A = this chain, B = another copy of it.
């Protein structure tokens, strides 16, 4: 499916970037919630995309002698990216989640031990929800205009806050079941 390919093409399409820039983008608040890659996966993919004619690479000198490679998108790369972007694909069968896997088997665990896990997970998702929600409120007090990159940013952040909020509610329903008895 080459999803990393398209994530990279999309980022470089916004503006030319180095591998390091791309890594930073994947670590960033909005994007890291639904996509991520390590630099060890990014650098080889960049080389591959140059070889495939999707990206151009130019070397820039930073300071005295540090070379950095700035990648920009080619017309072929842009076309490839846009074709991917409008592709209507089936939703994914599985959204893997290790805590849900534990929950599925939770009958094998003492009530107290499982409750401890539930509270810990809840706390962590609350922290993330509040963190993301804070960004949403401060960075985007208003909904950005259609056609801006900010709107994409806004929508995925809104989705992430919503997802975390729902996750916390689900955990609280689980907690309620175990606290009641």
Contacts and interface: CB of A to CB of B under 8 A. Distances in A.
Greatest chain B CB density within 10 A among A3, A108, A120 is at: A108
B143 A177 contact: yes
A178 B177 CA distance: 40
A125 to B, nearest CB: 6
Contact of A89 (B30, B82, B98, B111): B98
Interface stretch (A45-53, A55-63, A131-139, A152-160): A152-160
Given A95-B95, A173-B158, A181-B146, A106 B151 contact: yes
A68 interface: no
B94 A116 contact: no
Contacts of A116: 88
Contacts of A162: 166, 169-170
Nearest to A148: B107
Given A99-B91, A128-B91, A170-B158, A30 B151 contact: no
8 contacts: A1-B98, A35-B97, A81-B108, A86-B117, A92-B97, A105-B152, A143-B177, A158-B173
Interface of A: 1, 3, 6-7, 10, 13, 30-36, 81-82, 85-86, 88-109, 111, 113-114, 116-117, 120-121, 124-125, 128, 143, 146-149, 151-153, 155-156, 158-159, 162-163, 165-167, 169-170, 173-174, 177-178, 181
